[in-house]
Amino acid sequence: MINKFNIAKISTDLFDLFFPETCLNCGNLQEIRGKYLCFFCLSEVPLTNFSFQWENELENSFKGRIPLHAATSLMYFEKNGMVQKLIHELKYNNKPEIGTFLGKWLAEEIRLSKRFEMIDLVVPVPLHPDKQKKRGYNQVHDFAHSLAEGLNARLGLHLLRKIRNNQSQTSKNRQQRVVTEEDQYLVTDKTLLKGKHILLVDDTITTGATMQACADSLSAVADIKISLASMACTV
Ligand SMILES: [Zn+2]
């Protein structure tokens, strides 16, 4: 007998037949819809496990630069590897849902670790408004959203504003980058910050200069506790 449940099942099967979800890394069919990766590739994700580790490499790389409570990154970034592919899809192929998936995953880690204690506010690193307009979205927003949801924290999507477009600075060394990026982030509402534990989030942490500039801008206007989280890092 065909009832509405059968019809729903048939339409899902038909949908899968015409629009199968393939693994973003190897192209094989995904066993679980919405996971973006097949079981094999999921098991090969280069996880850092920093969420469970005090004084991990990422935290140590910020020593003397930002007074941090804790820092974590879900994955190691490897050139031409799976993580680069995922982040590229997220940034340039209009797949913000990858950010949601990674945010849920990292929120679970952070909750389990208990190292971060209570997070009050999740704040994503902003893009310059011109860049965001061109891309249509900030690739970190959905990641920040699912982290806030998973950690039962508020989301401060527009709490920081980027006020100058930094042209390609890749040729400059870390010291120069820090100097040029300083004062580029403006806090739009400092009343939300006082005494809060802020989780500052970004897609990839490389030199840490962006995180440092954002953290400096936030702590310049209020007495806060800062932790960091990213999808990937190069440490
Ligand atoms: Zn795969």
Domain of residue 14 covers: 9-44
Give the pLDDT score at 59: 97
Helix (H, G, I), strand (E, B) or coil at 34: coil
Q: Are residues 51 and 38 in the same domain?
A: no
State both tokens at 74: 């879900």
CA 154 / ligand 1 centre spacing (Å): 34
pLDDT band at residue 8, thresholds of 50, 70 and 90? low
CA 24 / ligand 1 centre spacing (Å): 7
Q: Are residues 49 and 156 in the same domain?
A: yes
Quick: pLDDT tens for 209-220: 999 999 999 999
Q: Who has greater pLDDT, 130 or 100? A: 100
Residue 69 lies in a domain: yes
CA 27 / ligand 1 centre spacing (Å): 6
Distance CA 195, CA 235 (A): 30
In the predicted structure, residue 77 carries a pLDDT above the cut 70: yes
State both tokens at 217: 């801008």
Give the pLDDT score at 174: 53
Q: Are residues 38 and 139 in the same domain?
A: no
Q: Are residues 124 and 185 in the same domain?
A: yes
Measuring CA to CA, which residue among 205, 210, 213 is closest to residue 231? Answer: 205
Q: Are residues 80 and 128 in the same domain?
A: yes
pLDDT band at residue 128, thresholds of 50, 70 and 90? confident
Measuring CA to CA, which residue among 129, 133, 107, 130 is closest to residue 119? Answer: 107
Q: Are residues 133 and 205 in the same domain?
A: yes
Q: Are residues 216 and 126 in the same domain?
A: yes
- Residue 192's CATH number: 3.40.50.2020
Q: Are residues 95 and 136 in the same domain?
A: yes
Q: Are residues 34 and 136 in the same domain?
A: no
Q: What is the mean pLDDT of the chain?
A: 87
Q: End-to-end alpha-carbon separation of the chain, Å?
A: 58
Q: Are residues 103 and 219 in the same domain?
A: yes
